[in-house]
């Protein structure tokens, strides 16, 4: 059976970007994670150990977002790789990283990347 778990709106402050200033000043990010899994056992047993713990998802995102990268594409792939390595029951995974107020010489609310695996 396929079930989905969504951990939406993980708010992070990080220093990603190609500009040196971004590394110094930092910026605000929002991360959404969607996981497909089978949590039938947890639905019956009411045991956290039989599903994916949202705390773990948030921890992985928060830790990877703290590691500076020039590209959010790189950060996104690290998040995907780590979730695949640590959460063995994932059938599919979607990670979206939104960079708020990017410094791209225009009035732009955000830019985002999405990785579906």
**Fold (topology level) of 3-101:** GTP Cyclohydrolase I, domain 2 (3.30.1130)
Percent residues over pLDDT 70 in the chain: 100
Burial zone of 52 (CB within 10 Å; 0-12 exposed, 13-18 middle, 19+ buried): buried
Angle value at C-alpha 81, between 68 and 44, nearest 5 degrees = 125
Residues in the chain: 117
Look at residue 20 in the predicted model and tell me its pLDDT: 87
| Per-domain residue ranges of the chain | 3-101
Mean pLDDT, range 82-111, rounded to an integer: 95
Distance CA 65, CA 16 (A): 8
7-11, 33-37, 106-110: which range is least confident on average?
Answer: 106-110
Average pLDDT of the chain?
96
Judge whether residue 51 has pLDDT over 90: yes
Phi-psi region of 17 (alpha: psi -120 to 50; beta: other; left: phi over 0): left
Stretch 88-100: mean pLDDT: 97
Give yes or no for residue 75 having a pLDDT over 90.
yes
Residue 12, both tokens: 């992070």
b (16+ CB within 10 A) / e for 79-103: bbeebeeebeebeebbbbbbbeebe
Asked whether residue 106 carries a pLDDT value surpassing 90, the answer given is no
């Amino acid at each position: 059976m396929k079930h989905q778990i969504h951990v939406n709106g993980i708010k992070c402050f990080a220093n990603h970007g190609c500009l040196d200033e971004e590394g110094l000043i930092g910026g605000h990010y929002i991360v959404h994670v969607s996981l497909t899994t089978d949590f039938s056992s947890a639905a019956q047993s009411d045991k956290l150990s039989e599903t994916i713990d949202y705390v773990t998802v948030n921890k992985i995102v928060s830790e990877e977002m703290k590691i500076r990268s020039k590209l959010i594409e790189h950060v996104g792939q690290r998040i995907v790789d780590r979730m695949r390595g640590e959460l063995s029951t994932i059938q599919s995974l979607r990670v979206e990283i939104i960079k708020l107020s990017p410094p791209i010489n225009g009035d732009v609310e955000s830019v985002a990347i999405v990785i579906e695996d």
